[in-house]
Chain A
Amino acid sequence: MSEVKFSRRDFLKLTAFGAAAAAGTRLVKEAGASSAAPGGEHQWAMVIDQSKCTGCNYCTLACQAHNDVSPQNQWNVVLQAGEVGGHQVFLPRPCMQCAKAPCVEVCMVGASYYRDDGIVMMDYDKCIGCRYCQAACPYQARVFNWEAFEGSNPAVPEWGKPEVERRPRGVPEKCSFCYHRIDRGLSLGLTPGVDLQATPACVNACPTGARIFGDLNDPESNVSKILKEHFSYRLRDDLATGARVYYLPADPKEMDVEVES
């Protein structure tokens, strides 16, 4: 070891370099918006009333059309979730738009990120297709484009017209709360959740009104009122993901009334 001297000075230099590198990383982290906790003027949320859901899948079809989703990939799914009082219960599952989204935390390039209004977005031009987000999502809300979606969309035009660009092969995609409808509606002075043009397609398509959409920051919005008055739950709340999709559990009494009427 006598040939090469590794002096204390060298060691200090190296340590200083390491500290500088760490500090640099820290700065980059603070500058990056992707990991910042969302907190804007609006906080969009969805309430799904399981007493009203009949499992008709209109929401899925409207979603497929408006977001131009391939029939193999579904952003929204309707699952059978057991029985209550002799009634089949359904559970529609869009993306939960988590406040602490596992997919955003793990995305190496920051292609998944939060908007100020809480929507978890995908930058399809940034994504490299590593699929770590799929491994991280507890809700299987992400679907990968294993192949390019070519040809016509069977849900169009019956269920609506495409409003966003098709995603390329090799990136995962997911529900975005129809952010484009919200943005366009707000710019026209409309209220998302009230005016159809500014509301997600699945909410508009629901024939029983099982889906309610609105702003959590507005105490007068439908979602704020309903969440104040009713018992609600969120999926996998134990994981503390801070989901923005709330469910009103199926109430057999309410379901009986609906069947009679």
Chain B
Amino acid sequence: MIANLRAKFPALNPWMLWLGFLSLLLAIGLACGILIFWKGLVITNLTDLVPWGLWITIDLSSIALSAGAFSLCAAVYLIGLKRYEPVARTATFIGLTGYTMAMLSLLLDIGRPDRFWHAVVYWNTHSLLWEVTMCVVLYLTVLVLETMPILANFEWLKSRFPKLAARMSRVHHYAPYLAIAGLCLSMLHQSSLGAVYGVLKARPFWYKPEMAVLFMFSAIVGGISLTVFASMLASRLTPRARVNDALLERVAHFVGWALVPYLYFRAWDWLAMTYTYQPGRTEGLEVMTKGPLSFNFWVGEILLGAVVPLILLLRQRTRQNRFWRMAALALVVGGVIAYRWDINLSGFLVIVSYLPGEAVVSYTSYLPSLVEIGAGLGVIAFGLTAFSLGVRYLRVVDHRYVAEARETVKKEAPETVPV
């Protein structure tokens, strides 16, 4: 039967089906996006009390999960762990995709998308969002440059514009410099994204210094996990992706160890909140641990997002088993997304009263509307499409690929005059 269908429709292979599915999601996303630009944000479930919702979570998560790019590039080009270079290549491409996803979801989220460029032109250097914007824009430039050698792999480009392709792949010479720029810019904005929440004195649940630390830690752990997971998944699905499993296992081992301090900081963050009662903060903690977000927190973030993958990745037998390793890495990614969702909402759902001598807090609720979900799916489908095309046409996941050997200039030592 299936063979019959195949014979009739030769286009009906898994790749085409996958592209068809993604196109459907992209079409839904596009339709929702147009609807939002046309009707305005009134068709979302965002309110004056919960002005940031699903799209901000997607934005924060895609930036966090792109952190593999800067951390692995720093490991390869600055620390000198050269053997991980092919993994860093994959991470760089995922990074570019992720940051583009973040830009798309922000474009949906701001009330005046026609003025997105104001963010770069008008400066309030006191604002953390200004700093984040500047870093993201500059880092996006770095990512585009870092991806140049990958894009140069496109067969069509190579045959049509060989000189341009050659020039693009030569950008690789500057990889260490780009890695330095990427490291600085990423450390700045990955942590500042947490500080965006952390500096708001009106919101006691967020108002604390560790937000920056947690955002950065979770980003590094999640970003590397996504890179390894995506590489492994691609290698299982298509022969165009070839991985060195021993290499990925070592990276996964590192993720396992990195989860230990992450879990420690996360636990410190939530346990330290119980030391004293502070109006709004304690209620935010209750919303997160006992209220509407409790399942997300205990199961999504802590149990499945950190504890289970920690065990799976540190036990040699499960780490070597590809299925369990992939499952563990996927769980870490899910945990990071859950963390962004929980943090954003636990701060907004609790409303601190400004009335004197009044019962201090009240609560609100938020569930994304269908339009928000549709547009969000479109953004995610964009990311999946970019990665799928990258694997197929740009050898994004190819551990046998060796970057063009760098030229070295050997100079002879000047001769000395014999005494």
**Residue ranges of A at the interface with B (Cβ–Cβ < 8 Å):** 1-4, 6, 10, 14, 18, 25, 28-29, 32, 34-35, 79, 81-82, 91, 93, 102, 105-111, 126-132, 134-140, 142-148, 168-172, 233, 235-236, 239
On chain B, the residues within 8 Å of A105 by CB distance are 126-127
Interface residues of B in 119-140 (CB under 8 A from A): 119, 122-130, 133
Q: B116 touching A135 by the CB < 8 A rule?
A: no
User: CA A132 – CA B51 in complex, angstroms?
Assistant: 8
Inter-chain pairs besides A93-B354, A109-B123, A128-B112, 14 sampled, C-beta below 8 Å = A1-B80, A3-B408, A102-B202, A132-B196, A134-B48, A134-B51, A135-B51, A135-B200, A135-B347, A138-B201, A143-B48, A144-B51, A147-B40, A236-B202
Closest to B128 in A: A106
On chain B, the residues within 8 Å of A111 by CB distance are 122
Q: B199 touching A106 by the CB < 8 A rule?
A: yes
Task: Return 28 A-B CB contacts under 8 Å, by A number.
Answer: A3-B405, A3-B407, A4-B173, A10-B177, A79-B355, A81-B355, A82-B355, A93-B354, A105-B126, A106-B127, A106-B128, A108-B124, A108-B130, A108-B133, A110-B123, A128-B115, A132-B127, A132-B129, A135-B51, A138-B201, A139-B354, A140-B49, A143-B48, A146-B44, A146-B46, A147-B42, A235-B355, A236-B202
Interface residues of B in 314-366 (CB under 8 A from A): 347-348, 351-352, 354-358
On chain A, the residues within 8 Å of B354 by CB distance are 93, 138-140, 235-236
On chain B, the residues within 8 Å of A138 by CB distance are 201-202, 352, 354
User: CA A179 – CA B409 in complex, angstroms?
Assistant: 69
Q: A35 touching B125 by the CB < 8 A rule?
A: yes
On chain A, the residues within 8 Å of B200 by CB distance are 102, 106, 135-136
Is B253 located at the chain interface by the 8 A CB criterion? no
On chain A, the residues within 8 Å of B291 by CB distance are none
Q: B112 touching A137 by the CB < 8 A rule?
A: no
Q: A102 touching B201 by the CB < 8 A rule?
A: yes
Partner of A128, one of B110, B126, B176: B110
Partner of A148, one of B40, B109, B133, B175: B40
Closest to B199 in A: A106
Q: How far is the CB of B121 from chain A (nearest CB, A)?
A: 8
Closest to A1 in B: B80
User: CA A239 – CA B339 in complex, angstroms?
Assistant: 28
Question: A128-B116, A137-B202 are contacts. A110–B122 as well, Cβ < 8 Å?
Answer: yes
Is B148 located at the chain interface by the 8 A CB criterion? no
User: CA A25 – CA B352 in complex, angstroms?
Assistant: 35
Q: B129 touching A81 by the CB < 8 A rule?
A: no
On chain B, the residues within 8 Å of A93 by CB distance are 354
On chain B, the residues within 8 Å of A142 by CB distance are 48
User: Chain B 185-220 against A: per-residue CB contact (8 Å), 1 yes, 0 no?
Assistant: 000000000001001111100000000000000000
On chain B, the residues within 8 Å of A147 by CB distance are 39-42
For chain A, what secondary structure do more than half of its interface residues adopt (helix, strand, loop), or is it mixed? loop
Q: How far is the CB of A91 from chain B (nearest CB, A)?
A: 6
Interface residues of B in 87-130 (CB under 8 A from A): 109-112, 115-116, 118-119, 122-130
User: CA A110 – CA B203 in complex, angstroms?
Assistant: 21
Closest to B203 in A: A135
Is B8 located at the chain interface by the 8 A CB criterion? no
Q: Interface residues of B, CB < 8 Å — how many? A: 55
On chain B, the residues within 8 Å of A2 by CB distance are 408
User: CA A144 – CA B48 in complex, angstroms?
Assistant: 6
On chain A, the residues within 8 Å of B405 by CB distance are 3
Question: A144-B51, A170-B40 are contacts. A239–B122 as well, Cβ < 8 Å?
Answer: no
On chain A, the residues within 8 Å of B201 by CB distance are 102, 138, 239
Q: How far is the CB of A143 from chain B (nearest CB, A)?
A: 6
On chain A, the residues within 8 Å of B176 by CB distance are 4, 6
Is B160 located at the chain interface by the 8 A CB criterion? no
**Residue ranges of B at the interface with A (Cβ–Cβ < 8 Å):** 39-42, 44, 46, 48-49, 51-52, 80, 82, 109-112, 115-116, 118-119, 122-130, 133, 173, 175-177, 180, 184, 196, 199-203, 347-348, 351-352, 354-358, 405-408
Q: A128 touching B119 by the CB < 8 A rule?
A: yes
Closest to A144 in B: B48
Q: How far is the CB of B402 from chain A (nearest CB, A)?
A: 13
Closest to A3 in B: B406
Partner of A14, one of B175, B180, B202, B348: B180
On chain B, the residues within 8 Å of A128 by CB distance are 110-112, 115-116, 118-119
On chain B, the residues within 8 Å of A132 by CB distance are 127, 129, 196
User: CA A148 – CA B110 in complex, angstroms?
Assistant: 15
Q: B111 touching A131 by the CB < 8 A rule?
A: yes
Q: How far is the CB of B358 from chain A (nearest CB, A)?
A: 7
On chain A, the residues within 8 Å of B203 by CB distance are 135
Q: A82 touching B357 by the CB < 8 A rule?
A: yes
User: CA A100 – CA B133 in complex, angstroms?
Assistant: 23
User: CA A102 – CA B128 in complex, angstroms?
Assistant: 12
On chain A, the residues within 8 Å of B42 by CB distance are 146-147
Closest to B197 in A: A135
Closest to B130 in A: A108
Q: B111 touching A170 by the CB < 8 A rule?
A: yes
User: CA A131 – CA B80 in complex, angstroms?
Assistant: 43
Q: B125 touching A32 by the CB < 8 A rule?
A: yes
Q: How far is the CB of A3 from chain B (nearest CB, A)?
A: 4
Q: B124 touching A107 by the CB < 8 A rule?
A: yes
On chain B, the residues within 8 Å of A129 by CB distance are 110-112, 115
Partner of A29, one of B44, B52, B122, B125: B125
Partner of A106, one of B49, B118, B129, B177: B129
Q: A145 touching B111 by the CB < 8 A rule?
A: yes
Q: A109 touching B122 by the CB < 8 A rule?
A: yes
User: CA A50 – CA B340 in complex, angstroms?
Assistant: 42
On chain B, the residues within 8 Å of A126 by CB distance are 115, 118, 122
Q: B124 touching A146 by the CB < 8 A rule?
A: no
On chain B, the residues within 8 Å of A168 by CB distance are 112
Partner of A127, one of B82, B112, B358: B112
